[in-house]
Amino acid sequence: MSRNIAPSLLAADFACLQRDIELVNKSEAGFLHLDIMDGLFVPNISFGVPVIKAVKKHARKPLDVHLMIVQPERYLAKFREAGADWLTVHVEACQHLHRTVQEIRELGMKAGVSLNPHTPVSSLEEIIPYVDLVLIMSVNPGFGGQKFIDTSFKKIRKTKALIQESGSKALIEVDGGVDMGNASRLFDAGVDILVAGTTVFGSDDPVKMIRDLMMAGVK
């Protein structure tokens, strides 16, 4: 089982974005997580291609870009050009999911699919052999700082079982309400990557918090 942390820049200080990116660069985090919201698929607007381009200039970690937008297939090439290394789309937002995943990989990115809290793991059965990442939303997407939905543990275990049964090599990522109180249980349930925003950037020492999250429960 792998353990990794992807600090979410949604919780960073946008007046000091380069500083916060460099904090992550110095840390043991494996990725920088960027949430793209359009105000339609989720009830919030975040940032888009220009910000990703700016982040890419300073980041020394792969950019893990999560598209919470309608019709994401329209923008895949633009996000690749902006610097995305991993690109995740929502099952709920893609009419032709297999085609979208295929195009992401053809563009040279790792392809991820994400499930909202209400979406069953069974919706992944036909796509799981073709993806590199499954992102389980453990809050209703749109805003940072929400409370973790406890039924996510069951969903994670189901996802892990599906991956193993299908022979897929997909990693499991979880986003929403991740903190020191649940990090160890999440890793134990089968998660490979924890997305943490407020927990990291709201701490006094983000670099140490990333390390603490990664080592949660390790004796």
Is residue 210 helix, strand or coil?
helix
Residue 150 among the catalytic residues: no
Name the active-site residue from 20, 35, 38, 192. Answer: 35
Helix (H) or strand (E) segment spanning residue 20: helix 17-26
Where are any strands of DSSP class E within 44-203? 63-68, 86-90, 110-115, 133-137, 171-175, 193-196
Asked if 113 contacts 131 with a C-beta cutoff of 8 angstroms, the reply is yes
Which one of the listed residues 64, 132, 175, 192 is annotated catalytic?
A: 175
Q: Which of 192, 38, 12, 216 is nearest to 112 (CA)?
A: 192
Could you tell me how far CA 44 lies from the centroid of its own chain? 17
What does the alpha-carbon distance between residue 104 and residue 127 come to, in Å, rounded to a whole number? 13
64 is catalytic: no
Where does residue 54 rank: exposed (0-12), middle (13-18), buried (19+ CB within 10 A)? middle
Residue 120: other Cβ atoms inside 10 A: 11
Separation of alpha carbons 53 and 121, rounded Å: 33
> Catalytic site residues?
35, 175
